[in-house]
Amino acid sequence: MSVHIVVVNWNGLADTRSCLDNLETCAGDAVVHVVDNGSTDGSAAAMADEYPDVRLHALDENRGFSGGVNVGLRAALEDGATWILLMNNDATLAPGALAALLMAGSRH
């Protein structure tokens, strides 16, 4: 099973940092993709420096939320994802939440 998480960022570095810090403790072995949607606040460079294990997809322009999600989904599927969780950059996971989602998904 290959679990991937897609997070879209646009000029929201503080929120995205909180999200990624949370995922480091709550997402286990999940592969995290961050799509930087043409940010102008230095988000992409900061995330590349601070989160080397995250797969960063830096876009030259803001493609909107759905455009950013599509880039992340495509990358996750190309990487062999069997499960993909979409998260807003201002969201966090409760401990055990990802495991519970996967368990529920595997039953249905």
- φ, ψ of residue 8 to 5 degrees: the values are -105, 130
**pLDDT band for position 108 (50/70/90)?**
confident
SS3 of residue 50 by DSSP: helix
Asked if pLDDT for residue 78 goes beyond 90, the answer is yes
Asked if pLDDT for residue 14 goes beyond 90, the answer is yes
Asked if pLDDT for residue 98 goes beyond 90, the answer is yes
CA dihedral 27, 75, 37, 24 (to 10 degrees): 10
Per the CB < 8 A criterion, the answer to whether 94 and 26 are in contact is: yes
User: What residues does each domain of the chain span?
Assistant: 3-107
Residue pLDDT, tens place only, 30-50? 999 999 999 999 999 999 999
Q: CATH code for 3-107?
A: 3.90.550.10
Tell me what percent of the residues of the chain surpass a pLDDT of 90: 94
pTM of the model: 0.95
